[in-house]
Chain A
């Protein structure tokens, strides 16, 4: 696994895309054939399942270092990353006599590890720690704690693979979709010519819109060249009908067919070789239901007819990627939409598939007015797609834009801070905010993002000097600072003390102009419900 550790370090040490691609290509060229496949799964974000309990790991490192468990815990709070903490503690001595494992051997050993008893697990893991350098242990620990992550996007990996294999990026992206078993594949079986025909369930890589910043008239030109549609708050998905079977994929590349039994009937209604792209939303009696209701339904292990009738789901369809078995992504959106429209003209599919309607505006000004009031129309903004655009892969600027309505905001008081992890370890970056309820502050949300690096450092210093109490990694702080919190939605919630749950909360800005007494109240918050 040495070469994989080297790859990890090279990628970790740079922020430059080209240096990362060079490192990846060089790894693919030199690694053992089977290792490449395991590396690809890891790089694409398919992490191995955690084979051991993290509390056991802490205990075992305490045993070999002769340190008390509480000191391991305190160290972990400071380091902010369990794998790194364990690696720093476990030692840095290489045993040159120890057997050298390939990446494949290591990952296969880890798969078996879960089935062993704790003593055997402990023996394997402590042996590894004592035989390896700190950098090896770090990567090893990332794998056994189940949160292995490499600083590369999927797109970057695809780019490097395309260079290495000498194929088109789109083809590579397509073949890497979904789950596959590195033990059962070879480079040939994955990327060879015949692959696609054998894998009828494979979706196409999603094309994602870029957020639009600033006014569209300046950057996008005449409105007549664009399709404008409502941006619904649902689950982006692809419905595939091939070989008389239906497959539903989410944008997270998960096969979620089981969660959506209402689409099953499409296998008899749509022609084989159909792939539709759209947003799955909860829909009842001609009305959009709140997103949270769908979330609850998705989370259920077992779906009863009652759940299905309470929260029926439909897909708002906006694109057609495959028609009569032909990949039509290279056609213009205008052409694809015509085909989609003809396909959905079939009345029998309309109970579960609806065409995404085009919004007609005379000019961008009218579109802006709609966007400002988007919530009144049960959507979260406008999608703007160039009529002549082909269906690309990944998130790209230029042809597809999302123009979301302004978020809801409240001014809230910072009351707790907790240290973050990874790049934010050793810094207080996870914040809990409260609003006034009479003269009490009630916590209502956490937020992690939105501050600049500079502000984070300043706030970290402030937290350290304004701590009231410490509870492990959490500190309560003097309720003095006010932040404007933005969010996309608000729901009643019985699980939260404040009685509300927010969707996508984040920090909009630090209100240094406001004292805590001028923060919003619980009533203000409830008025947004």
Chain B
């Protein structure tokens, strides 16, 4: 029912591509991260809450059509609908139905409730396309709430010892999760331009997050013992210099491992992820009842073998061009500030 083409995942019945990586006339977008929502598409179909993110990132002139969660769209006898993916604000699994056959393309998703994005809902289907970013049993993420507690405790301790706290996380998703759960006692957080601009865009869809822009001319005493939220692109740059003395923490699922944590030579790593860990993936896949599982970006070879052997599912690897915004954090070519 779906075709895996050069341009992306194609749904012929409705003549559209899901998260295409090359320009196509009709693109269905699971969420606003840049490896899923690319420029130069003829038109975009996305969840209501993703619209302002796309306009912010791809320009105000793009042609966007939106749907709410669970709102079906009928095209040529095919049905398409969005369902909460729990990954970031507006993130959706795409349910595709044609002649009684149902596929779900998840984009990125997680089962843990981050308190900001609409929580994940399982969708029954025959075929399920899943990512596998953290598809190994060594990844076992704690609840977001418990990590927020740790972050608040760490920031408070830093302030007590006379240090600012710099929290590094992706400008869309992680940054808002952190901001929405910061202890107000820590003061109004300061935001890197990329985070501040993203928050501005999210305001237009009704989301309000605390924080003030860390302008270049900001008075020095405002920086004292402050909490700063910035994307990973600032790591190793002079942008951080004016924040001294500070302690810096990276918030990413990769921080679950000691090697990546030490490699970044930051003071602290919080394993806060917008992706599923091993158990979440297993739970999600079982809940769909799907027999055919397509495993994309991550540990696809290992994880699909696990699905075949453990659950007797028809699981195969699927090569895609999705990277992972969490993966970028350990890579060198970090995305430039938005």
A residues whose Cβ falls under 8 Å from a Cβ of B: 12-15, 65, 67-68, 70-72, 74-75, 78-81, 84-85, 88-89, 92, 138, 421-427, 453-454, 457-458, 461
Contact = CB atoms under 8 A, between A and B. Distances in A.
Interface string B250-278: 00000011111011010110000000000
Contacts of A425: 257-260
A17 to B, nearest CB: 15
B138 interface: yes
A423 B262 contact: yes
Nearest 9 CB-CB pairs, A to B?
Answer: A425-B259, A457-B332, A88-B138, A74-B302, A75-B138, A75-B136, A423-B262, A426-B259, A84-B258
B140 interface: yes
B136 A461 contact: no
Interface residues of B, number: 25
A424 B256 contact: no
A78 B299 contact: yes
11 contacts: A13-B268, A14-B267, A67-B137, A71-B137, A71-B306, A72-B137, A75-B137, A84-B258, A88-B137, A425-B259, A461-B332
Given A425-B260, A427-B263, 6 more contacts: A13-B267, A68-B306, A78-B136, A84-B257, A423-B263, A453-B263
Name, among B258, B305, B309, B310, the residue most crowded by chain A CB atoms within 10 Å (CB to CB): B258
B240 to A, nearest CB: 16
Interface in B178-230: none
Nearest to B142: A92
Nearest to A92: B140
Contacts of A12: 258, 262
B77 interface: no
Given A15-B265, A71-B302, A461-B332, A424 B137 contact: no
A474 to B, nearest CB: 15
A88 B263 contact: no
Interface of B: 136-140, 256-260, 262-263, 265, 267-268, 299, 302, 305-306, 309-310, 330-333
Contacts of A426: 257, 259-260, 330
A14 B256 CA distance: 17
Given A13-B267, A423-B259, A457-B332, A88 B140 contact: yes
A89 B259 contact: no
Contacts of B259: 79-81, 421-427
A404 to B, nearest CB: 29
B236 to A, nearest CB: 9
Contacts of B306: 68, 71
Contacts of A68: 306, 309-310
B332 A454 contact: yes
Contacts of A423: 259, 262-263
Contacts of A15: 265
Name, among A74, A427, A457, the residue most crowded by chain B CB atoms within 10 Å (CB to CB): A74
B258 A461 contact: no
A65 B282 CA distance: 15
B258 A81 contact: yes
B268 A78 contact: no
Contacts of A67: 137
A79 B263 contact: no
Contacts of A84: 257-258
A71 to B, nearest CB: 6
B332 to A, nearest CB: 4
Contacts of B136: 71, 74-75, 78
A84 B258 CA distance: 8
A193 to B, nearest CB: 40
A78 B138 contact: yes
A82 to B, nearest CB: 12
A81 B261 CA distance: 14
A15 B310 CA distance: 43
Contacts of A138: 258
Nearest to A68: B309
Contacts of A89: 137-138
A254 to B, nearest CB: 30
